[in-house]
Structure 1
Amino acid sequence: MNTIARNGASPPRPDRSACSESDDDVGVGVVLHPREELAKLGPFLPKPLYTLFQAFLTWMTGKAYSGQQPLFAANRYWHLFCALISLFGGVLGSAIVLNGSPLFLPLLLCSWVFTVGGARMLQTTINHQCVHKQVFGKMHDRWLSEILSTLLMTSDYETYSGDHLTPHHGLKTFANFEDDPDAKSLRENGLRSGMPKEWYWKWLWQTMFSPKFHGQFLASRLAGNFSSKKMYRQWMSVLFYLATIVGVSLTHTWWLFLVAWFFPLTFLYQVSACLQVASEHLWGHEKDNKHIPNELKSHGRYCGECPPFGQSMFAWSKFWLRMLFSHLPVRIAILPGELPEHCWHHYHTDTRNWENGVYEVQKLEETQDITFVEVWGLDKALDRVFSHLEKFPPRS
């Protein structure tokens, strides 16, 4: 199911009435569609509450159900506002927890999720669209990107734009280990093709907690700030971090700074980035493999699963626990913003309505008979990438 083809030459549309466990549980080949099943939740609610509940599920999963209309048309200001609220709201939450009873320290996990999610959304949605010049316009986007990358300690506009636009979107270079910067970073951290699937899962866990991975990642982020080709960008970083150090020192809030800001924006941010990039595309394609469109090397990564209609209370308890404590944190901290429908971005790179991508994807599927590859659950997305890689001949 769900394989996209250009120019309307797509396979038969999927049955969106139930859920399948086919295709070796990779999450592809959905016969009974998870989002259509989730749309059946809450029919007893008054219509306004049902509409709000389903709008929440659409945001949470990253997928609209057939015929669903948005509550409002989101714009770039809305996405920027939500990202900043998540980032600084998470920092504020951490500060409140640290100044309260030690019994509340476990709540740091919640505040960190929002801090990381806000930071990743600023990078993967706002900053990403800035390099595509689709937020406020060319010059405004450059300056917004420079400000955000200074705040987040990520690559400056010039570096990010050069790495992303041609190598990551080019037909000859996309998703291959030699030319795509994202794929190259995975290879440099030990990922290679032709290995058993168990090897890939072991590699992922080792990488996420590897001092070498985090050290190199942090070093590249520092270099992107303090070694920028643009002198003004270097001075932005120097002044910002000097002001931060002075401010934290004068207020004697080093512990708060380290726990509420530095830790989530270094270690946790980098773990989130590792999981996001590793699951993003079918990496490892041969160089110059132009006959495979970029969108066929991608997939939609949606956060949710089918409700267990007709099953036991235990099954329902398990369903809600997974939705609230697995899929929801993943949506906030690992796949924020437009990342669930990122496959659509590689189909319509120059779209001007990326702010409403969830509904644009649904409209495209319903009006043009185009169906994207869908993978439900981050674990299934990773499994699909690993299944793809193990089919290649071994390469270092």
Structure 2
Amino acid sequence: MSEVNAPRTVTAAGPGEPDPVRESMQVLPRVFAAPLTLLTGRPYAGQRPVRHTPTRHLVNALVSCVLGLALSATALAAGGPLLVLLVPGWAATLHAARNLRMMIYHQCAHQNMWRKRKPDVLVGRLIAAALMIQDFDRYSTEHVGDHHALHHMTTRDPTVQAFLVTLKLRPGMSRGRMWRRVLGVCVSPWFHARFLVARVRSYYTYAPPAWRVGTTLAYVLLAAVVTVLGLWVPVLVAWVLPMTLFFQISNVFRLCVKHSFPQPHQVPRRGREYFASLTNAIFVGERAPSPALPAARRYAAWARWWFRMLFVHFPTRYLVLTGDTVVHDYHHRYPMSREWASYLFAREEDHRRGAPGWSPYHEVWGLVPAIDHVLDSLRTADPEEFAPERLAEVNHRALFMAFED
């Protein structure tokens, strides 16, 4: 096991220090620099920032969606060996949906997408209707009022409610038992059925009447066109499957790395240092093999490294830790940052400046270690503070949507 995968705790480099895992990859040709930064979520020391815009992120998500649907349609039309194209088709479609939900919808809820209320609200409502997720106005209110406030990671926070009610995880549980519950819901038909119903109800219960009518008419018209053209199989396989089963599994894993639970010794429960301690970056990848290894061992190590980067870490980044979720700690420090669209470099720049006014940044390398860290924080949390009976008002219709920020 590589040394970056061995730890199960959050690590912190000194203020402004480069990360040794990311720096180890600089032995590769420069052509790999930008792709590795996107994959890992961490720029290397001295890397020139790449600036993005909110509009570019939106366009990229829409292009990814079209590409995914085209690949899936091609696979179904051609059949035979080309059915293998369903895999990248599903992946591209899911990646688009996750970026729309996790990044675009999220920034619109903060009215920080373009910092213009009308277009931010319009895009947010369109995404809610297209993905059939919690009504945009309701999400904005709950997210800003309960998640980005003094109630962050308390029993009023929908994220905490999702852990205690939906996943039925409790303080004092062993890490292994928690993992079994997490994996169990991912393959549970009952869980996915409830999740889907909750998504529909959370939209239709709170969406403005005009949007409910418009959304219903749009879906009825779409269903009629699909029926006339006899396209139900392609629609169900290419769109409905990734938007339900795959989307919801991704939600579960994303929930499990969002925020750690406060510990009994963490008092008082306020201040920048306290709130910063509940969120860490999750970088994706592992240390590159040492050039000092003997030739045979070096070749084997590089073969293993490339295999894990392509078939373990890339799917993690592309399907679960999409967009700016790898540096979610930056968002919780600066929720209204104008630099959010260039999130990787914005966070790295703040880190290199020593995070002025805040405690140092913390990070975990790898999805599994990141989940372990959150589960361990719940295991050692105060069982009285996080007892299910302490939940005052649980919005069951929108609870499943609490899986994301």
Q: TM-score range by the shorter chain?
A: 0.7 to 0.9
Of 181, 199, 209, the match for 2:158: 181
Given that residues 272 and 334 in structure 1 are in contact (C-alpha distance below 8 angstroms), is that contact kept between their aligned partners in structure 2? Answer: yes
Query: Are 2:126 and 1:116 equivalent residues in the alignment?
Result: no
Query: Are 2:316 and 1:333 equivalent residues in the alignment?
Result: no
Given that residues 295 and 344 in structure 1 are in contact (C-alpha distance below 8 angstroms), is that contact kept between their aligned partners in structure 2? Answer: no
CA distance in 1, matches of 2:373, 2:229: 49
Given that residues 90 and 112 in structure 1 are in contact (C-alpha distance below 8 angstroms), is that contact kept between their aligned partners in structure 2? Answer: yes
User: What SS class does the counterpart of residue 353 from structure 2 fall into?
Assistant: helix
Q: What corresponds to 2:85 in structure 1?
A: 107
| 1:96 shift after superposition | 0.8
Structure 1's 108 and 185: CA in aligned 2 closer, same or farther, altered over 3 A?
Answer: same
The within-5 A match list for 1:77-92 is 77-92=55-70
Of 182, 191, 196, the match for 2:169: 191
1:41-81: CA deviations, max 9, x gaps? 22xxxxxxx2x42111111111111121134x210111001
1:232-284: CA deviations, max 9, x gaps? 12113202211221121111010000000000001100000111111111036
1:298-318: CA deviations, max 9, x gaps? 110111111122243222221
Letter in 2 for 1:185: A
User: What SS class does the counterpart of residue 375 from structure 1 fall into?
Assistant: strand
Q: What corresponds to 1:7 in structure 2?
A: none
| 1:369 shift after superposition | 5.1
Letter in 1 for 2:276: E
CA distance in 2, matches of 1:164, 1:348: 15
User: What SS class does the counterpart of residue 52 from structure 2 fall into?
Assistant: coil
Name which of structure 1's ranges 99-108 and 351-360 shifts more when overlaid on structure 2. Answer: 99-108
Structure 1's 257 and 245: CA in aligned 2 closer, same or farther, altered over 3 A?
Answer: same
Of 205, 208, 211, the match for 1:233: 211
The within-5 A match list for 1:1-396 is 25-26=7-8, 28-29=10-11, 33-42=20-29, 50=30, 52-71=31-50, 73-136=51-114, 137-171=116-150, 173-176=151-154, 178-189=155-166, 190-283=168-261, 289-290=269-270, 293-309=274-290, 310=293, 311-368=297-354, 371-394=360-383, 395-396=387-388
Structure 1's 233 and 285: CA in aligned 2 closer, same or farther, altered over 3 A?
Answer: farther
CA distance in 1, matches of 2:100, 2:268: 32
| 1:393 shift after superposition | 4.8
1:286-328: CA deviations, max 9, x gaps? 7983356322101101111111222432222211111011111
CA distance in 2, matches of 1:54, 1:308: 16
| 1:285 shift after superposition | 5.9
CA distance in 1, matches of 2:201, 2:362: 36
1:215-247: CA deviations, max 9, x gaps? 222112101332224111211320221122112
CA distance in 1, matches of 2:370, 2:252: 13
User: What SS class does the counterpart of residue 277 from structure 2 fall into?
Assistant: helix
Aligned length: 366
